Amino acid sequence: MQASIVTFDVTVVIPSIQGDGGELWDTIRSILATEPHEIILVTVGAHEQRAKQVAKELNLSRVRVYGVAQPNKRRQIVRAIPEIQTEITIFADDDVTWPSTLLPWMLAPLEDERYGGVGTNQRLRRAECPNLQQRIWGYLGALYLERRNFDCASCMVIDGGLPCLSGRTVAYRSSILKDSAFTYEFTHEEWLGQYQLNADDDNFMTRWLLSHGQKISYQHHKHAEVLTTLEDNPKFLKQCLRWSRSNWRNNITSMFCDGHIWMHQPWSAYAVYLTTVSHWALAWDAFLLYLFFDMAKCWPHQSREMGLAALVCWMFLSKFLKLLGHYLRYPGDFLLLPVSIVFGYFHGFIKGYAMLSLNVTVWGSREGADDDDAYRMIRVSPKHPEGLGYRAAVFHPR
């Protein structure tokens, strides 16, 4: 059967801070190789002319450039939406590399009118000739993406859910984005009725689809796999902290403010969303060991040793299976396995600190990314005028 949606029906929107640099233009070239209708690059006003000049010098006729006053991704997305002329819109980060096979795989689920968004598989672009520090941090970043791919693929198969349609590369029907109700809520989201939230854009979009009866899809395949970059230095910890805060805000909203996931995606709610509140690796593993020793204190010595070995093996396998794909691709990384186990326990402290600082939206890991930090979360008066927006994830029509 011939596809009704083709690559020329796609506009790719790239929000970018600098609007320039070799990495950005490499991203644009990899996207143009898939033959979309056009690319809309939205940068900061101060860099707009430079971006236009470089696009002209590189003879990139299918790239249009626009600017916004502040480097905020929601503002950049909203600036691009009125310019979109195609049926499908894909948002992409400015540091991704697309395979030439990506677009047909992303468009395939959208042949079904019930689907409003499609996510992609993601892998880390490994550094060339890394030093030991870069290799360790890069290894932890690669495992983060591996674990996320596993969660997304498994939840999608079981109940059609996933944690979030990541903004690194994601497709939506343009009609959804052009809806005035979407635009209003997207620019007036509130967090717990105390803050206007201008971060976590991809979380908002995922919740919007679910709350409006749109199905989502996730293409877990090599042909739909984008390469991306993460910090390969201690700034990776700041990325983890930012992601953890975003997860707390989104999962609390999804579970306790919105609530659609409990009916439509019960397994995802249990396996992904609820773990934000319930899963603390160091505390639970220590508790399991305590219970074992308390239970087995009267066992014969040999039985106690065998029981302990079985428990430790089970704990190890429960942390290892999600990452098996990575070790099959890079068996040499198996030597770094102790690093991932220690970091897994340490991440609990990052998660705890994130829980205590949910009103912080700072990146701290990218130049220029925090120029608009004061705008990402604005404290509002409890008695603010009608029209500022509904509380987070409450999408009732006005």
Predicted local confidence at residue 7, as pLDDT? 95
DSSP code of residue 97: B
- Positive or negative, the Cα torsion across 74, 193, 242, 173? negative
Mean pLDDT (the chain, rounded): 91
4-30 in b/e form (b: 16+ CB < 10 A) is ebbbebbbbbbbbbbbbeebbbebbeb
The pLDDT tens digits of the residues spanning 180-192 come to: 999 999 999 998 8
Question: Is a pLDDT exceeding 90 seen at residue 174?
Answer: yes
| Mean pLDDT value across residues 327-348 | 95
The helix/strand/coil state of 101 is coil
Predicted local confidence at residue 380, as pLDDT? 80
Q: Please give the full DSSP string across 269-308, using - where no structure is assigned.
A: IIIIITHHHH--HHHHHHHHHHHHHHHHTTS-HHHHHHHH
The whole-angstrom separation of Cα 344 and Cα 70 is 36
The pLDDT tens digits of the residues spanning 281-291 come to: 999 999 999 99
- Give the rounded percent of residues in the chain with a pLDDT score beyond 70: 92
Q: Angle of helix 201-211 relative to helix 235-252, nearest 10 degrees?
A: 20
| Mean pLDDT value across residues 295-302 | 92
- Residue 65, strand partner residues: 41
Question: Is a pLDDT exceeding 60 seen at residue 205?
Answer: yes
Element (H, E) at 235: helix 235-252
The pLDDT tens digits of the residues spanning 125-150 come to: 998 899 999 999 999 999 999 999 99
Element (H, E) at 379: strand 377-379
Question: Is a pLDDT exceeding 60 seen at residue 385?
Answer: no
